[in-house]
Amino acid sequence: MQRPNGLSIVRIHNQKTGSKDLNDEYVIIFNDGNQKWELAGWELTDETPTQQRPHIYRFPKPLARGRTWTF
């Protein structure tokens, strides 16, 4: 898959081993291009040695009118 022009993952913060605080695990995405990207339905995934149980995060559709996952 080709990387969208301007979008970059600039930070990946993993939660500490044994932590149950999901707010301590996040990814920061930065758009330094001119195009806006609608991310609803897009997925972020990690790589595992066998790819049998990768972690997958799917950007949800916005809940409120006028609110979008646009970068």
> 38-66, pLDDT tens digit by residue?
888 888 888 777 877 778 888 887 766 66
pTM comes to 0.64
Domain ranges across the chain: 7-58
Calculate the dihedral angle through the C-alpha atoms of 68, 9, 55, 38, rounding to the nearest 10 degrees: 20
Map tokens 């898959």 to a residue. 1
Mean pLDDT across the chain, nearest whole number? 79
What mean pLDDT do residues 25-35 have?
A: 87
